[in-house]
A and B are shown apart, each in its own frame.
Chain A
């Protein structure tokens, strides 16, 4: 657990970068430091591993005042990843990742094993990459290696300063998704700096919103969106905060029941009866193994004898882990009223509709207002 108590930083030139900031980060939590450029996020973060000397207040890690620790020992137990990455160009990817293990004096075979393990965790082929040099990597690969290096010594705490900031949007989203998945298994205590509200909402368990060196609001993403403390927060999250909330909900949070389906071999007349009885006008079509094939609307049933003849095959699907804003955007851009949810083997898990999304959003907004 990390605790900041009245933390203050006045630079030698008199700039008051951080003013009396106090908050706590629980074990295994991902805390995002959010705010406009120059508000003191980086300064706050670097005071935790003492890259920037604190000028007032105290930072505790597991109850111990960090000022009393040996600074190099402190840093070896805190992973550190920055936007500029700063990989060592004279060392291979493997040696880069083994930096902290080497400093900690791990035996060589354990270091090597750690390097391979982390590359695999980052979705990189260790055989291919472990012997490469940083200059042979693409931006996305370098960023992954940077994160792997930060995790090298298996630190309980991770500091990340806009680690995905300098990457193209598509790669960034992919890295964020991968990173979330990794965090679900690793459960590190993470301080993550960003000025991007979308990234903050997507990744953060809690968000510390800063303004001109002060902490304005420290809350969960939902509370920040729907319970803004003041006008600054309201403006910062933006008028489209309702839509931003879709980012907080995943398909698995709202789609529970397995959906009614039809087999492609069934007769259309029988299906029409079923639809009328159940009061629905769309059904997902599956094969004998439960694999998703497409959808069939009531209006199409008259066009043929069997479902297979009249169904429209669909390529657009989502998984249980997809966030609702992606679902919403898929449905809008492909003109769909229903989006099938499949697992990794393309087996149908459920169906999500506009109505489900609307209900989920209303519920989230209400929860924010009352809680």
Chain B
């Protein structure tokens, strides 16, 4: 099953490679991994999207907790949560597809953030599945470039990951 694991870790050089190294050394899947400092500059927050059996996920959580740089770990998928990902897509927008692409972007609540005479760059946020659907909705041949951040997640209501 797919799990979204959020963690706070010391903003130390090398902390990221400890997490990445753990996943590769133990053969765990990483679908995506994002990390950036928080409002407390000594700490970074990481979101890891992974998949595995319940046993594997349990081990992943324990092994992450065991890393000395990791302050706290939460499996967001254990409860209500929100997941968002940002995607930028550059598409070939000429002739009639120019109108068509604008319409589809609107439907997905995307924004065109850069325009040239041949291209649009569309910004889209949402759960990963929404971004996937957007890519499926437009003509594959028109996609010049896509870049995705990987998921960030947060618990709903008073589910809070804090020190």
A, B from the same assembly = no
Binding site for A on B (CB under 8 A): none
